[in-house]
Amino acid sequence: MKILSATFVKSSSKLSQCPPPDKPEFAFIGRSNVGKSSLINLLVGNRNLAKISSKPGKTQTINHFEVNGKWYLVDLPGYGFATVSQATRADWSKMMENYFLKRENLYCVFVLVDCRLEPQASDLDFINWLGNNNMPITLIFTKTDKLKNNQLAQSVSRFKKKLKEVWDELPIIIQSSTKTKKGKIEILEIIDEALRNK
Ligand code: GTP
Ligand code: MG
């Protein structure tokens, strides 16, 4: 799929502030610092569209980007950042629960997992919660440029094993890197197919 245009629409701190649900929408979620904003920039070929940072907790709101005038990419604030307060954590949970359960134009959720980490409870819990709520998900292992091929394969199979403890069927799994552009074509293909089947 060709990206002809990608523009920032708005930042929202709750569901009611989001743009009208009049276009198909694809959201990116995962732990803080996993690379959600960077991956959105890779997909649209613009390093400056979504704000990124080497420090976790950069994205704090629901950010809508309109692509080709036809669909939305949504950059979300991450979870699992150790130093945030209980109150902030509760606000995040409420915002995300509302967004995921009520956003009617949400076609697919891309859940990003850092390929370097052992399976994290926060990732598994979140994936299980989305699955239990019948959300179509695609799993993306990020930062694959940081591991050797055999380490990467081990890491992915460790994670799959954990998921198989709960799920009979696993989601589509993609590997990505903003350094090598790995995964870009596959992710755009998934979006393209979802748009064509609408
Ligand atoms: P929050 O907004 O805080 O939730 O983080 P985020 O998930 O949006 O992460 P962000 O895109 O801001 O990236 C975090 C850091 O990881 C930045 O320093 C990026 O340059 C780096 N990064 C992201 N993707 C990759 C990747 O594929 N490879 C490498 N080596 N670094 C990456
Ligand atoms: Mg971000």
**Does 183 sit in the ligand 1 pocket, CB within 6 Å?**
no
Q: Is the pLDDT of residue 82 over 90?
A: no
Reported pTM:
0.97
Most informative mutation of 11, 28, 32, 33 for ligand 1 (most atoms within 8 A of CB): 33
Residues 44-68: pLDDT tens digits?
999 999 999 998 888 889 999 999 9
What separation in Å is there between the alpha carbon of 168 and the centre of ligand 2? Answer: 31
Residues 22-40: pLDDT tens digits?
999 999 999 999 999 999 9
User: Rounded CA gap, 39 and 82, in Å?
Assistant: 23
Which residue CA neighbors atom 31 of ligand 1 most closely? 143
Predicted local confidence at residue 51, as pLDDT: 94
Residues 150-174: pLDDT tens digits?
999 999 999 999 999 999 999 999 9
**Does 59 sit in the ligand 1 pocket, CB within 6 Å?**
yes
Please give the domain boundaries of the chain with CATH numbers for all domains: 6-196 (3.40.50.300)
115, 154, 158, 162 from 19: Cα distances, Å: 33, 41, 38, 36
